[in-house]
Structure 1
Amino acid sequence: MYKSFYSLAREPFSKDMRKEDAFLSISYQEAWNGLEYLQKSKGIGIVIGDPGAGKTFTLRTFKDSLNPSLYHVVYFPLSTGGVMDFYRGLAYGLGEEPKFRKVDLFRQIQQGIQRMDQERKVTPVFILDEMHMAKDAFLQDLAILFNFHMDSSNPFILILAGLPHLKTRLNLNHHRPLAQRIIMRYQIQSLSKDDVYTYIEHHLKLAGSKMPIFTVSALEAIALRSQGWPRVINKLTINCLLYGSQLKKEQIDEEIVRMAAEESGL
């Protein structure tokens, strides 16, 4: 096992990593600044990024930072289910028994949000993921569903997350009512080459590494192969550690990276 071979106390690049363990890249910190602004202002925000950019991790750490006595988080990834399944999921998330008709579901969700805000003094936070897959009719419905008191108040936080072409879709004329109400927009970028080096060293240090495991040329090869996307960096680096331990390599060089990349299909 590579952990014992490289004297690591735990697996690096773990999916259950906490906010305090996050690598503070410029993109991550800017995304957090936007989310904190949305938290204070309330309303609708959008977080987009390419696959593997770190959207889900950013949203998860934001969710975990919220005081559960002040915020009620409903996370819902858009799946292959129908639109009505989605609305029922929102109702369940608010602790409601879903109605059957769409008009009744709309009213039920809005009333549930208002009760949570006014009676319990808790702000509902909706994180809707994979929204680039949403049908046009659903995006148009959101502008109506999250309209309170003739758009004079926002007793909620709504975060729409997805791939970059979500932004392009929202720029279309028929989505203007929703787009005009978005108060925070952020697109997560890939890591720079220098950040890739620091990112890998940061996570290896968290895992207990005392000595450099990757040569400079290996880090450069990982940066080139991954193009700076964290998910790809994680996968490629773990494969390098596996190959390196199997071959009894005290330091991982660019040849190990090449082998690991071919294994990963990169």
Structure 2
Amino acid sequence: MYKSFYSLAREPFSKDLRPQDAFLSTDYKGALNALTYLQKSKGMGLLTGDPGVGKTFTLRAFKETLNPSLYHVIYFPLSTGGVMDFYRGLAYGLGEEPKFRKVDLFRQIQQGIERMAGERKITPVFILDEMHMAKDAFLQDIALLFNFQMDSTNPFILILAGLTHLKT
């Protein structure tokens, strides 16, 4: 009823909205441009915003621009678990059977990233969503886990996404 009243072709804010149907607001275009820069520079980025502004939609739109033969996307929204859950989730995302000890998992993940980027020439893209709920220990381990060759190279793309207070 409201669709015909407002002359809408489909439901606004639907979960099945495709990126090509998105309203190209200044904020949306800016976020996509920042993610594209991150893709080219290979590094770490932060995407924050208020609830419902379209952070995850923007991440989905960005993911669709990535060539699957050049990029392997690992989407991980489980930010309320422990550090070991985080490590296991990343290992699964890399196609690895997780080891049991933290030190072994740490090495397994780093080697998996290096193998994927070095041997297979595929850039792993880690999208960690809902990170505003993550514990401090979780966030501290991210800095350790994604440190390669004494912090001189990034063989991956890492995107942390969450509510605005994640910046603090």
Work out the number of aligned pairs and report it.
168
Unmatched runs of 5 consecutive residues or more in structure 1: 169-266
Residue aligning to 1:82: 82
CA drift of 1:79 comes to 4.1
Name the TM-score, length of structure 1 as normaliser.
0.60
Q: Which has the larger radius of gyration?
A: 1
Residue aligning to 2:145: 145
Name the TM-score, length of structure 2 as normaliser.
0.93
Q: Deviations over 1:155-210 (max 9, x none)?
A: 00000111111111xxxxxxxxxxxxxxxxxxxxxxxxxxxxxxxxxxxxxxxxxx
Q: Which has a greater percent of helix?
A: 1
Q: Contact conserved, 1:78 with 1:133, CA < 8 A, in 2?
A: no
Residue aligning to 1:240: none
Change (3 A) 1:23 1:92: same
Counterparts of 1:79 and 1:143, CA distance in 2:
15
Residue aligning to 1:119: 119
Q: Deviations over 1:63-107 (max 9, x none)?
A: 111110100000001343322112101000000000000110000
Counterparts of 2:6 and 2:161, CA distance in 1:
37
Q: What fraction of aligned residue pairs are identical, expressed as a percent?
A: 83
- Which amino acid letter does the alignment assign opposite residue 112 of structure 1? G
1:1-266 equivalences in 2 (<5 Å): 10-168=10-168
Unmatched runs of 5 consecutive residues or more in structure 2: none
- Which amino acid letter does the alignment assign opposite residue 23 of structure 1? F
Counterparts of 1:94 and 1:106, CA distance in 2:
13
- Which amino acid letter does the alignment assign opposite residue 149 of structure 1? Q
SS at 1:112 equivalent: helix
Counterparts of 1:106 and 1:39, CA distance in 2:
24
Counterparts of 1:31 and 1:146, CA distance in 2:
23
Change (3 A) 1:41 1:13: same
Change (3 A) 1:141 1:29: same
